[in-house]
Amino acid sequence: MFDAHLDTPAKINLFLAIRGRCDDGYHEIDTLFVPLSLSDRVRVTEGGEGIVLVVEPAILPTDSRNLVWEAARRCLEGVGFEGGVSIELTKRIPIAAGLGGGSSDAAATIRLFCRRFPECSKKARGIAASLGADVPYFLDPRPAWFGGRGDRCVRPVGLASPIELLLVRPRGLQFDTAEIYRRVAPLPVPPRSRMAALIAAMERGDLAGICANLHNDLTWATEGIYPERRAIETALRRHGALGTGMSGSGPMIFGIFPDPASANRAAVALPRSWERLRTTVLPV
């Protein structure tokens, strides 16, 4: 009987530039994803009837409204399997925070079904893309430059050394990704040389160079609805962060620190009204 699990990493975007709007309503972007040590866990066990999803803690739906359930359904339909499966999803990644937790969980589900049904591998990318723009990234989560709607890998990116992070947001604050993108206004497009400089800094382990080239166009889409953002970034820098930014559509803010000790000190010093999570970008 098949019984396997995967840890599903969160991500941050070190760079996110909006290049334009597509005919289907999505936006054309350039983004640089990096996976984090912070992760959920997905476990798939064959047996029973239908698709039974259990989420711990019980903070998410367990039916077709959950990307894990929907990924399982599409995989099983794709291979013509009529048996049952049980799926356990253990959540550690904050939801609706710009960290890609739901997409990562869905991609891990697809990867697990590809283990059980090798023929599913031919359909994996199509299923992933049908579930969400960034789900394809998590089929092979490593530092990478992605284009298109955020679903097309331009190139993998090397990372010479770990990046120590502190993640911060006001407790309970969540953003809807689609709503943030609807708020996007035309902006000057940053040159791709900024992305090239960021990649070069990552590949030589240059934290100062990485921090000098952080960029996220969606930051400006949160103006007027996220008054705490500037205060969080200011506090992170005051407590030793070399650079700060918002991940994806937010609201999670990350601070890049020179070492684990300084990140840990900042986590203790920041207000308790803010959620604080320590994590690391690890070389793959």
Write out the catalytic residue numbers. Answer: 11, 134
**CB count, 10 Å around CB of 91?**
18
Pairing of strands 215-216, 3-21: parallel
Tell me, rounded to whole angstroms, the distance of Cα 210 from its chain centroid.
Answer: 19
Cα–Cα distance, 100 to 93 (Å, whole number): 8
Cα–Cα distance, 184 to 18 (Å, whole number): 9
Question: To the nearest 5 percent, what fractions of the chain are helix, strand and coil?
Answer: 35, 30, 35
Cα–Cα distance, 279 to 114 (Å, whole number): 29
Q: Which of 253, 104, 101 is nearest to 165 (CA)?
A: 253
